[in-house]
Amino acid sequence: MFDIGFSELLVIGVVALIVIGPERLPRVARTIGHLMGRMQRYVADVKADIDREVELEELRKMRDSVQQAATSIESSVQSELTKAETDLNQAAQSAAGAEGTSTSSADAQVSPAQQSAPAIEEKKEAVASAIEEKAK
């Protein structure tokens, strides 16, 4: 704390012995020792409180960033889900319209719903994986 060497301590001790006297010097030294111990404990407590506050502030910032990330993931999953639902509804409507106008012959063409089925399945899988990631 203070940069005091042995020779400086020796000079302080001799001056204290002359000023205070040999009878009261042990009592004064003990009192100074107790005060120094209290001061060191107080400084250590203040440092610990400051460290705790800094860590608490860091945890709050981390919590806020995690909440923002969760919110953004939730909104992206919700938008993908809405998009997939819209695509599925459009595919179902086009499939229903195509069934009404198509012939039932063996060499009939593939309907638009059948053509979009693999894409719809891929979107379903993407949405399902996004939901699983969000759940984790």
pLDDT tens readout for residues 14-44: 898 888 888 888 898 899 999 999 999 999 9
Q: Is 88 among the domain residues?
A: yes
Q: Is 101 among the domain residues?
A: no
With H, G, I as helix, E, B as strand and everything else as coil, classify residue 106.
Answer: coil
Q: Is 106 among the domain residues?
A: no
Number of domains within the chain: 2
Q: Is 54 among the domain residues?
A: no
**Per the structure block, which two tokens stand in for 113?**
């719903």
Would you say residue 105 has pLDDT above 70? no
Q: Is 120 among the domain residues?
A: yes
How many CB atoms within 10 Å of residue 91? 19
Enter the pTM of the model. Answer: 0.45
Enclosing domain of residue 7: 1-38
With H, G, I as helix, E, B as strand and everything else as coil, classify residue 119.
Answer: helix
Work out the pLDDT band at 102, boundaries 50, 70, 90.
low
Q: Is 51 among the domain residues?
A: no
Q: Is 18 among the domain residues?
A: yes
